[in-house]
A and B are shown apart, each in its own frame.
Chain A
Amino acid sequence: MDKKLEKIVQALQEQFGSSVEEFRNEAHVFVKAEQIVDALTLLRDKFEFELLSALTASDYYPQETPRFHVIYQLSSLAQNITLQLRVPVNSDQLKVPTATRVYDTANWREREVFDMFGVVFEGHPDARRILNPEGMDGHPLRKDFPLGYEEPQFTFNYDDIDLKKIYAKE
């Protein structure tokens, strides 16, 4: 790991008791959901991470705890380093405080994560879907959301699938 990055990761570990993983010279720091705003503010103000490059999530279904990781990819222009924060979220507690007050980028990016994964960002000023249509059911990037193929019916699951068909509801 980069020397400059090491110092920052140490500071995060001391303040938030977070664990760190390293892979291909990238540092992934795990932070609890309630600490994320403080962590981002600290990184922006003290360690010059001016740019929130990406904000996304990953689904680990069928694992339930933690089912999701919300991922914050930060860049520092002044020091030319990057850092990734990961916030594990359980499926029964799908809430993360919003980062819109720290980075303006988070506004649209959090809307996207909500749209695609259904993670709720508490205190978001404009919590609507962004890419998918307003009245849509479900969150497409979840692993239990089908890709759009028709599920093949066999004798053992014929009735189950039949019940889900549109004509069954009429």
Chain B
Amino acid sequence: MAQIEEVGYEQYKHLVSERALTGETMLLNMGPQHPSTHGVLRLLLELDGETIVNAIPDIGYLHTGVEKNMEAKTFLKAEVMTDRLDYMNTTGNNLAYCMAVEKLVDLDVPERAQVIRVIVTELQRIASHLVFMGAFGLDLAAMSMFLYCFREREHVLDILEMCSGQRMMTTYFRPGGVWRDVPVEFESAVRSFIQMFPKRVDEYEALLTKNPILLDRLVGIGILDGKTALSHGVTGPTLRASGINWDLRKARPYIGYEQYDFNVPVRTEGDTFARYIVHIEEFRESLKIVEQGLEKLKKLSGQPVLSDNRKFVPPPRAEIGVSMEALIHHFKFWTEGFPAPKNSIYNAVESPRGELGVYLEGDGGPKPHRVHMRTPSFDNLSVINKITQGHLVADLVAILASIDIVLGDIDR
């Protein structure tokens, strides 16, 4: 009791073990400012020597009220908020939100836009996994991984900039399609990336996968079994490393994923190493999808990339000068926005971290009545106390890196 009162942690009394109350174990803060917490996460550690008895996450340091803000904006304007959630997967968030809006108002998307969406989302997945890989290496004292991964990530960000004008906060996808067609040099840029990247993945593997020091730190650490994972709502690569084959791209194909040939990497061990391997293998699968997407894109060249339903999509600039209706639609669209039915939908996509769901509710007006982002990192982090118990503090760093959390995604 003594220690808890001394530090003023009354509110954590029911979460720590009885030994902390007598002062036998030590309470230690890790974070909020700590390089291996990947943002601003505070972990209250209860330690017995160097062994973790309890790791209690304290989140909310990056809470920006995105959901509340979105309620005050029209459907289109609210989209820019989604970029800021999971800042490693910006186009993926746009995709989840745009698909939710399209489902709510029942809007079709042209095929070329779907293909562009697939290519860009998979490139973004690669970029996100590259950050994972870099930070993972950094946390395990393999500093060079970080430099190599960020070098490759820059290629992907260049491609995103080419499409949308922005490296990170793209807002490239819009309800009804994508903002504009990809530029001419898009294909050659993606092709050169596809050509270069497999060799780089082999290099990462040569650096890490068989490295005995790394294996010692990863194998058998932080084991998460499938049942616990599901009960805690863990999804994505973390779930697939625990032996459960669940990928929304395969299970409930969207934006045409059923037409692509790819595998879902699954491992059964559920430890930190399995999670690392799943990420490595997903690099190769994503590349396969991008390659097939480029072939499809070629066949669909010249086709529209935005729906022509003028109630939900602004008319092209050229039309405004010659068509009265187009001018009216343009004016109504940008001032008032478009109305959505008074009902709710839930739409989920597979983000690099797991099931990214959007609960979207309209109230008959041009603004959403309620938006809820079901962000994967939130649930993935909630399992941390279960899987770190009994490990050393240094292992906690490895486990935290392996579940690939993004704090913007957790705190919203």
Task: Point out residues on A near B: beta carbons under 8 Å.
Answer: 23-24, 26, 28, 50-54, 56, 58-59, 71, 73, 75, 77, 80, 82, 84, 103-105, 107-109, 116, 125-126, 128-134, 140-141, 145, 147
The answer to whether A52 and B370 touch across the interface, beta carbons within 8 angstroms, is no
List the B residue with the shortest CB-CB distance to A115.
B60
Task: Point out residues on B near A: beta carbons under 8 Å.
Answer: 11, 14-15, 59-60, 63, 65, 67-69, 72, 103-104, 106, 228, 230-233, 235, 244, 246, 251-252, 343-346, 348, 355, 357, 359, 361, 369-370, 372, 374, 378-379, 382-383, 411-412
Chain B contacts for A128, CB-based, 8 A: 11
The answer to whether B60 and A53 touch across the interface, beta carbons within 8 angstroms, is no
List the A residue with the shortest CB-CB distance to B363.
A60
Cα–Cα, bound, A82→B348 (Å):
11
The answer to whether A73 and B233 touch across the interface, beta carbons within 8 angstroms, is no
The answer to whether B233 and A52 touch across the interface, beta carbons within 8 angstroms, is yes
Assuming A58-B361, A104-B382, A147-B69, is B345 touching A24 (CB within 8 A)?
yes
The answer to whether A56 and B379 touch across the interface, beta carbons within 8 angstroms, is no
**The residue from A71, A108, A134, A145 contacting B379, defined by CB atoms under 8 A apart:** A108
The answer to whether B412 and A131 touch across the interface, beta carbons within 8 angstroms, is yes
**The residue from A82, A105, A131 contacting B232, defined by CB atoms under 8 A apart:** A105
Chain B contacts for A104, CB-based, 8 A: 228, 231-233, 382-383
The answer to whether B233 and A103 touch across the interface, beta carbons within 8 angstroms, is yes
Cα–Cα, bound, A144→B84 (Å):
25
Cα–Cα, bound, A155→B231 (Å):
56
List the B residue with the shortest CB-CB distance to A56.
B372
Cα–Cα, bound, A135→B344 (Å):
33
The answer to whether B374 and A53 touch across the interface, beta carbons within 8 angstroms, is yes
**The residue from B228, B230, B246, B346 contacting A26, defined by CB atoms under 8 A apart:** B346
The answer to whether B374 and A105 touch across the interface, beta carbons within 8 angstroms, is no
Cα–Cα, bound, A75→B359 (Å):
14
**The residue from A54, A59, A108, A141 contacting B346, defined by CB atoms under 8 A apart:** A54
Cα–Cα, bound, A52→B233 (Å):
6
Chain B contacts for A125, CB-based, 8 A: 14
The answer to whether B252 and A58 touch across the interface, beta carbons within 8 angstroms, is no
Chain A contacts for B382, CB-based, 8 A: 104-105, 107-108
The answer to whether B357 and A131 touch across the interface, beta carbons within 8 angstroms, is no
Chain B contacts for A26, CB-based, 8 A: 345-346
The answer to whether B233 and A147 touch across the interface, beta carbons within 8 angstroms, is no
**The residue from B68, B346, B378 contacting A140, defined by CB atoms under 8 A apart:** B68
List the A residue with the shortest CB-CB distance to B411.
A131
The answer to whether B357 and A54 touch across the interface, beta carbons within 8 angstroms, is yes
Cα–Cα, bound, A50→B359 (Å):
19
Chain A contacts for B251, CB-based, 8 A: 77, 80
Cα–Cα, bound, A97→B274 (Å):
37
Measured CB to CB, the closest approach of chain B to A88, in angstroms, equals 14
Cα–Cα, bound, A163→B104 (Å):
42
Measured CB to CB, the closest approach of chain A to B226, in angstroms, equals 9
List the B residue with the shortest CB-CB distance to A127.
B14
The answer to whether A134 and B361 touch across the interface, beta carbons within 8 angstroms, is no
5 residue pairs A–B, Cβ–Cβ below 8 Å: A128-B11, A132-B60, A140-B68, A141-B67, A147-B68
The answer to whether A23 and B345 touch across the interface, beta carbons within 8 angstroms, is yes
Cα–Cα, bound, A84→B346 (Å):
9
Cα–Cα, bound, A134→B378 (Å):
19
Assuming A131-B412, A147-B72, is B252 touching A80 (CB within 8 A)?
yes
The answer to whether A133 and B60 touch across the interface, beta carbons within 8 angstroms, is yes
